[in-house]
Structure 1
Amino acid sequence: MKKKIKKELWQWAGIIAVLLILYTTGLHTEVIGFAQRGILATGLMNPDVDKTELALKDGSNPRADFNLNLIDSKGAQVSMEALRGKAIFFNIWATWCPPCIAEMPSINKLYNEIKDENVAFIMLSVDDSFEKAIAFSERKGYDFEIYTPNGPLPAMYQSRSIPTTYVIDADGNIVMTHRGIGNYGTKKFIEFMRSIQ
């Protein structure tokens, strides 16, 4: 009986040690994100491309606010206004957010499928340190550009939860809003992005 208790104590000590190492090294976010990627594979968290959470009372889609200035990973200033006329995939994320980490591979897949079409990607990091976001993106090998805000976010893009994704059609309408984790690499979502260009 004492051997069994001693063995269980050692097992729990090992689990606690692993958790402490993950937490102190900052890898816990990526481990949780990896586990959440399994949830994405079920299809339960797929964004609903048939409706927008921001639909106006008359059922129409709200107009996007293009009054947003950004800085890319190379330090260049970019105006959202310069993207007018393109479909825009706009994702707000952070390196400390496990659901954000979990959906990144599907966003990268989407990006690689449609990057040469009439579409722009705004992957907006809200990390306190943009350098940390840049290092994360480079380490993961993502192909899309990442940005940080260069000034305040327009009110319509302020969300209490991240990740939050807005999809803006080529006419400047917000045609989809998805709060929380999503799988954007599906055939249905890729077709949706092509339909709004």
Structure 2
Amino acid sequence: MRMKSFLPLLLLVTVTFCCTSCGPKAATENSTASTAPTEKILPALALQHADGGAFELSSLLGKKVMVNLWASWCGPCREEMPSIEALAQSIDTSKAAVVLISLDEDKADGMRFLQGKNLQRWAYFPTTDLPDIFNVPGIPATFFFNEKGEMIKEIVGTEDYNTPAFKQLLQ
């Protein structure tokens, strides 16, 4: 009798966990005073742009930067993409940048997802292993860096980025 009443609760918890993200959600504000500078700075990372060109992430020093880790197979990643697209279209690209790093094993999968969206401009694929700063328990994961390359915010899990607060982070 007790087992019957426990099963619906177990099912609810399992479904809730599986549907909310491709990993646990956690948002943290980071201060360079509380972390070692080498751990929380915009890393050197070789990327390939969706158009095939080479790109170095650290070349964005001097701009505010939003880096989003995603994959086409990740439902929560796909869910937050429209809000990222809206945020990216609202920024002054001379002062800020959005970098969407696809973690798809096959670049073609990421490219298929991007077709018909205004996201290809911001899409990149890693050409080397991700640096430690991007080792997170799940995706989507988003990192905000100031002009000095210092991480100011980290979010693991789905978020609505088309808000005044996130626009302010990239102004």
Q: Which category describes the TM-score, using the shorter chain as reference length?
A: 0.7 to 0.9
- Does the 8 A contact of 1:107 with 1:185 survive in 2? yes
Which structure dedicates a bigger proportion of its chain to strand? 2
Q: Distance in 1 between matches of 2:109 and 2:136?
A: 22
Q: Distance in 1 between matches of 2:95 and 2:138?
A: 28
Distance 1:125 1:115, change over 3 A: farther
Q: Which has the larger radius of gyration?
A: 1
Match for 2:140 among 163, 167, 170?
163
Sequence identity (%): 26
Q: Distance in 2 between matches of 1:153 and 1:179?
A: 16
- Does the 8 A contact of 1:106 with 1:185 survive in 2? yes
Q: 1:29-64 deviations in whole A, cap 9, x for unaligned?
A: xxxxxx97xxxxxxxx9x96xx52x546x5468441
- Does the 8 A contact of 2:99 with 2:122 survive in 1? yes
Q: Residue type matched to 1:156 in 2? A: I
Following superposition, the deviation at residue 138 of structure 1 comes to 1.5
Q: Which residue of 2 aligns with 1:42?
A: none
The runs of 5 or more residues in structure 1 that have no matched partner are 1-34, 37-44
Which structure dedicates a bigger proportion of its chain to helix? 1
SS at match of 1:128: coil
Higher-RCO chain (CA-CA 8 Å, sequence separation at least 6)? 2
- Does the 8 A contact of 1:123 with 1:147 survive in 2? yes
Q: Which residue of 1 aligns with 2:13?
A: none
The runs of 5 or more residues in structure 2 that have no matched partner are 1-18
1:152 corresponds to 2:129: yes
Q: Which residue of 1 aligns with 2:104?
A: 127
Q: How many pairs were matched up? A: 147
- Does the 8 A contact of 2:64 with 2:95 survive in 1? yes
Let me know the Cα RMSD of the aligned residues: 2.4
SS at match of 2:130: coil
Following superposition, the deviation at residue 181 of structure 1 comes to 0.2
Q: Which residue of 1 aligns with 2:62?
A: 85
SS at match of 2:170: helix
Q: 1:103-124 deviations in whole A, cap 9, x for unaligned?
A: 0000000001004341111100
Q: Which residue of 1 aligns with 2:7?
A: none
| TM-score normalized by the length of structure 2 | 0.76
